[in-house]
Amino acid sequence: MIKLCGMRREEDISFANEAMPDFIGMILAEGYRRTMDFDTAARITKALDPSIKKVGVFLNTDVEKICSAAEKISLDIIQLHGDETEADVKKLRRLGLPIWKAFTVHTAEDVHRAEEFDCDVMLLECFSAGEIGGSGKVFNGRLLEDMKISRPFFLAGGINLGNIREALEISPNIDISGGVETDGVKDRQKILDIMKIYNERKQRYE
């Protein structure tokens, strides 16, 4: 499965409808470059193909605000990206939606700790410590190659056209944001190119 994250413009929704990823993600936490307010998210996603699932991404957001966003936008999935606790997850369970949680991992121990957290799906952001690339930290998914991970997970963090094939050899589930942008906005051609590689790989293994 593939998720295109950081969608925030009407054009982005149009690109998604053309490319048909499994999920789109919207940053609904305040204060970030890709942040979108709840009203805008609700308005522009009315045009989203109904087969594409909507993921709301939150970072240390009050549980009641998350619940309000889920209702207003008709979210399909809640993604937590901060210091949320299992107590927060327990409160959010009343929504009846899957809960995803992002973890930055540098070592095998980080992965094992993530596996112990009460969530439905993990997003494992794999970076080389101390290395900075053009669009963020450098992807280092090799960390996971020989690991037996018992929980469903997406590979995330620094994935782009140059390394998506490597990423797909490690996990069939990919989360990508900056890797399909040019000058800070979603790039239609990059999205289509990423989806072409992803779909070719998917067909090969089906």
pLDDT in tens, the chain (206 residues): 999 999 999 999 999 999 999 999 999 998 888 899 999 999 999 999 999 999 999 999 999 999 999 999 999 999 999 899 999 999 999 999 999 999 988 888 888 899 999 999 999 987 644 333 333 455 667 777 777 888 899 998 889 999 999 889 888 999 999 999 999 999 999 999 999 999 998 877 66
Report the alpha-carbon distance of residue 164 to residue 175 in Å, rounded.
10
CATH code: domain of residue 98: 3.20.20.70
Which pLDDT score is estimated for 137? 54
Which pLDDT score is estimated for 147? 77
Which pLDDT score is estimated for 205? 62
Which pLDDT score is estimated for 158? 84
Report the alpha-carbon distance of residue 17 to residue 26 in Å, rounded.
15
Report the alpha-carbon distance of residue 52 to residue 64 in Å, rounded.
25
Which pLDDT score is estimated for 139? 65
> The domain containing residue 171 runs over which residues?
2-205
Number of domains in the chain: 1
Which pLDDT score is estimated for 135? 38
83 phi-psi bin (left φ>0, alpha ψ -120 to 50, beta other): alpha
Which pLDDT score is estimated for 148? 80
Report the alpha-carbon distance of residue 65 to residue 89 in Å, rounded.
14
